Structure 1
Amino acid sequence: MQIFVDQQGDSKVAVIESSDIVIGDVQDALDLMASVRYTSGCDKILLDKSCVTEQFFDLKTKLAGEILQKYTNYHVKLAIVGDFDQYDSKSLRDFIYESNKGTQVFFLKDRQAALEALHRAGA
C-alpha cells in the first residue's frame, strides 16, 4: 500500500494506492485511518473500490454502516472511486445517492471528481 497526499491550500487528501484489499473489516478501516493520520496528517481518504471488500457493498452485512459510523465519529472523510452501476440493490443505490449529497462520504466514478469533493468538504 502506498499513500500519496494531494494538497490544495490547507486541504490534504490521502490517496491510497494498493493492488490488495485495504478494507476487509472494521478493524482494517480503523487501522487505515490511524495509519493515514500518523503518516500524512490527513483526515480525508480516497481509495479505489477494488481496495474495499465486496461485503461492504452488501448493506445486509452492515459492514458499510459500521465503518462509516467510525469514520464519522473520528471526523474522517472518505471517497471511494469506482463503477457502482454494477450493483442491482436499490438500497445501495439510494445509500450512495444520499451519501454523495453530504460532505462525509462519497462514491464517485473518477479520481478527479473524488478529490474535488473531498477538498470542497472542508476540514
Structure 2
Amino acid sequence: MNIRIVKKNNIDLAIVVSDEEIISDVQSALDLMATVNYESGCNRIILNKTAICEDFFDLKTRLAGEILQKFINYQTKIAIIGDFSTYSSKSLKDFIYESNNGREIFFLSDEAQAIDKLSKL
C-alpha cells in the first residue's frame, strides 16, 4: 500500500494505491483509517474500488453500511473511485446516488473528480 498526499484548496488528501485488497471487513477499514491518519495526518481518503472486497458492493451483506458508518464516526471522508456501471443492483445505484449527494462518502469515476470533490468540503 502506498499513500500519496495531494494538496488542493489548502486541504490535504491521501490517495491510497494498492495492488491488493485493503478493505475486506470493518476492522480492515478501521486499520486503513488509522494508518492513513498516522502516516499522513489526512482525514480525507481516495481509494480505488479494486482495493475493496466485492461483498462491499452487495448491499445485502450490510458490509458497506457498517464500514461507511465507521468513516462517518471517525470523521473521515472517503471517495471510492472506479467504474460502478458494472453493477446492476438498483439499490446499490440508489445508495451511490444518495452518497454522492452527501458530504462524507463519494463514488466517483476517477482520481481528478475525487480530488475536486474532497477538496471543496
Instruction: Tell me if TM exceeds 0.5.
Output: yes
Q: Work out the number of aligned pairs and report it.
A: 121
Q: Which residue in 2 is equivalent to 1:72?
A: 72
- 1:14-93 map, 5 Å: 14-93=14-93
Question: Is contact 2:8-2:115 (8 Å) kept?
Answer: no
| Secondary structure in structure 2 of the residue aligned to 1:98 | helix
With structure 1 as the length reference, what TM-score do the two structures score?
Answer: 0.96
* Counterpart Cα distance in 2 of 1:118 and 1:21: 23
Structure 1's consecutive aligned runs of 4 or more residues displaced over 4 angstroms after TM superposition are none
In structure 2, what is the equivalent of residue 13 of structure 1? 13
State the percentage of identical aligned residues.
53
Two-structure CA RMSD over aligned residues (Å)? 0.7
Question: Residues 65-84 of structure 1: CA distance to partner in whole angstroms, max 9, x if unpaired?
Answer: 00110100110000000000
Any stretches of 5+ residues in structure 1 without a counterpart? none
Q: CA deviation at 1:10?
A: 2.8
Moved more, 55-64 or 7-16: 7-16
